[in-house]
Amino acid sequence: MAGQAPSSWTRCFHRAPSAGMRLLAFPHAGGSASAYRSFSAALSPTVEVHTAQYPGRQDRMGEPVIDDIHVLAEQLVDVAAALPKPFALFGHSMGAIVGFEVARRLEARGVVPAALFVSARRGPDVQKEKSHHLADDDTFLNEVSRLGGTDPTIFADPDIRALALPALRGDYKAVETYRYRPGPDVSCPVVALAGNADPVLHLPDVENWREHTTGSFEMEVFEGGHFFLEDNLDAVVARILGKLTVSP
């Protein structure tokens, strides 16, 4: 854990001691634990949501950003393994790849999640050569804004830009330099979620997740773009509860 206590890596906004299931959620590039606050509220008290807080943002602003998915997964696997059982994993965009790599490491230890939900992300071995993290600030932030999910006017404030850029660049580097390492994948069920108007995602690439589990695979497409979760929260929550066979 590189000297960090497990609690420094997760936030739980809605404690639910009587919940029958825990869900560990991994944020998108540039995202923080607070991105899942509404998601957590919608699942509580049936499912208790714990959200990863990556270094370099919010209350971990003073820590160096981890710009390698494999290194990040190594840091988070102990956090996941310490959760009360049963638990599932959920990741959006960059978080989907983080969740997948955490799940692989968990299963190598004999710990099998109840399910892995991968949202707004192509399968792990579908490579797209991109280098947005190397662009100048304006070009880079225009790309970030193009995906939605971030009010572009906040980048007009130089102080906010200065605070946000290191985590954004580090996360984009992590995603754009990620390479799938052949080897055992997962045996847990995988559920892929996507928006039908996502500007950076082709639905056949989402189907690639099917090749990376020996368990069941399901895919559901929602109305919306890269951040379709915001407009489909109730439907996504119902999908999660249904898959985890937990009654709301």
Three-class SS of residue 116?
strand
Of 32, 40, 93, 119, the catalytic one is 93
Query: Is 93 in the active site?
Result: yes
- Buried/exposed code over 148-167 (b: 16+ C-beta within 10 A; e: otherwise): bbbeeeebeeeeeeeebbeb
Q: In residues, how long is the chain? A: 248
Going by C-alpha positions, the residue among 248, 84, 122 that lies closest to residue 239 is 248
Name the burial class of residue 143, with classes exposed (0-12), middle (13-18) and buried (19+) by CB atoms within 10 angstroms of its CB. middle
**Tokens linked to 52:** 């990863």
Annotated catalytic residue 50: no
Which residues are part of the catalytic machinery?
A: 93, 226
